[in-house]
């Protein structure tokens, strides 16, 4: 792949979130100087990332896997997409790689088997523990009685417990369980995702009484910071080519020069045979790193790895298309990056996307 290519490479970034604009910049400023044309979609026609794309459309909202996959295939067919990089709806797309190939699109996605396990946090923990990856204690609950039993079981002296959906909901649904009364200090500090055990138990009971569908929830100790995110680039059979760990410290990100985090990520990537871009998140318990979650997709913050001197998104595109990620420089680690807000001018009519 070289800059001599006269026809732009057509890359579709589906479910384009706010951080997608930074990834677009990395793809356009690729080290091969290959011209690219960026296509973006989102369920929200007002999503700001769509304004940074060359072509933007609206995705269908709340549709089943078959309907979403048919939409994606039609999109690729209509636009002649070369590469599809999906951060969401992986369970709808992974099993259709041959169908995408038939319309000329290479799908950047791990295997359906890996995605099936990793979209369940409880099953992920079971497998991770079996291969020697440190995981916290956890309990799966679906009702008020199970919640109270799990909290009684896990909440030791001074132990803080949290709850989150066991499926793939990103950070949505995460709450710290705290029954202590609010103080004036609590009211004057930035809000935290706190909720009482009684409030959650009541919500579960009301849902059960109304015969609502209640997903499985995970109850576990609230792990200590800092949260560490390892962005991974790997071959289709799960051989790790690069793993860059970054720790969150308020508005800063530390590019960690500590092999313990990439080593944990490598064990998971290898076992699940994760392909191209994936992400492993860890926190700590008594100073020991513990698995928070493993994602068979790129993280929203993958663009921060650019400050380590490595263009992971472009290396993944090269690897997908040619089997060669290109030269991978030794990452510059140990640095500190400030995460700040930026403003981007939007041309008039840029958000008048097609569809919907």
Q: Determine the pLDDT at residue 351.
A: 54
Enter the DSSP assignment of 8.
P
Report the C-alpha gap between 115 and 275 in whole angstroms: 11
Q: Determine the pLDDT at residue 347.
A: 65
Residue 207 clears pLDDT 60, i.e. is over it? yes
Domains of the chain from N-terminus onward? 9-109 (3.40.50.20), 115-122+125-131+224-338 (3.30.470.20), 137-221 (3.30.1490.20)
Name the band, by pLDDT with cuts 50, 70 and 90, for residue 109: very high
Mean pLDDT score, 45-63: 93
Mean pLDDT score, 39-63: 93
Mean pLDDT score, 62-85: 97
The residue that leads in pLDDT, 348 or 298, is: 298
- By DSSP bridging, strand 9-13 and strand 83-85 are parallel
Six-digit token string for 305: 């790895």
Residue 4 clears pLDDT 90, i.e. is over it? no
Q: Determine the pLDDT at residue 352.
A: 55
Give pLDDT tens digits for 144-163: 999 999 999 998 767 899 99
Strand order of the β-sheet with 106-107 is 55-58, 36-42, 9-13, 83-85, 106-107
Enter the DSSP assignment of 211.
T
Q: Determine the pLDDT at residue 186.
A: 86
Residue 61 clears pLDDT 90, i.e. is over it? yes
Answer yes or no: are the C-beta atoms of 116 and 93 closer than 8 Å: no
Mean pLDDT value across the chain: 92
Closest CA to 265 of 249, 253, 282, 248: 282
């Amino acid at each position: 792949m070289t800059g001599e290519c006269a026809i732009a490479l057509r890359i579709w970034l589906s479910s384009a979130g706010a951080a997608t604009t930074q990834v677009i910049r990395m793809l356009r400023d690729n080290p091969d100087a290959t011209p690219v044309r960026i296509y973006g979609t989102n369920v929200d026609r007002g999503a700001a990332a769509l304004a940074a794309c060359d072509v933007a459309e609206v995705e269908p909202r709340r549709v089943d896997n078959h309907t979403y996959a048919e939409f994606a295939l039609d999109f690729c067919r209509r636009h002649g997409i070369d590469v599809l990089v999906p951060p969401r709806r992986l369970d709808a797309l992974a099993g259709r790689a041959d169908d995408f190939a038939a319309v000329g699109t290479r799908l950047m996605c791990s295997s359906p088997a890996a995605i099936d396990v990793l979209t369940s946090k409880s099953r992920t923990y079971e497998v991770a523990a079996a291969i020697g990856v440190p995981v916290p204690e956890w309990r799966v609950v679906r009702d008020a009685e199970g919640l109270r039993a799990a909290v009684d079981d896990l909440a030791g002296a001074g132990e803080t417990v949290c709850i989150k959906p066991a499926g793939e909901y990103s950070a949505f649904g995460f709450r710290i369980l705290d029954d202590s009364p609010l103080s004036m200090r609590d009211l004057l500090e930035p809000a935290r995702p706190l909720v009482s055990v009684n409030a959650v138990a009541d919500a579960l009971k009301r849902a059960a009484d109304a015969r609502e569908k209640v997903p499985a929830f995970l109850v576990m100790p609230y792990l200590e910071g800092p949260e560490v995110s390892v962005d991974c680039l790997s071959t289709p059979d799960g051989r790790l080519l690069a793993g860059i760990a970054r720790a969150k410290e308020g508005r800063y990100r530390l590019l960690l020069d500590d092999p313990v985090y990439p080593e944990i990520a490598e064990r998971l990537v290898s076992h699940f045979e994760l392909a191209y871009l994936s992400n492993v998140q860890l926190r700590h318990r008594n100073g020991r790193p513990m698995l928070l979650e493993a994602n068979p997709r790129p993280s929203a913050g993958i663009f921060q790895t650019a400050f380590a001197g490595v263009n992971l998104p472009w290396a993944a595109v090269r690897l997908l298309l040619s089997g060669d990620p290109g030269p991978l420089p030794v990452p510059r680690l140990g640095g500190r990056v400030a995460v700040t807000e930026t403003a981007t001018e939007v041309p008039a009519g840029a958000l008048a996307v097609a569809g919907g």
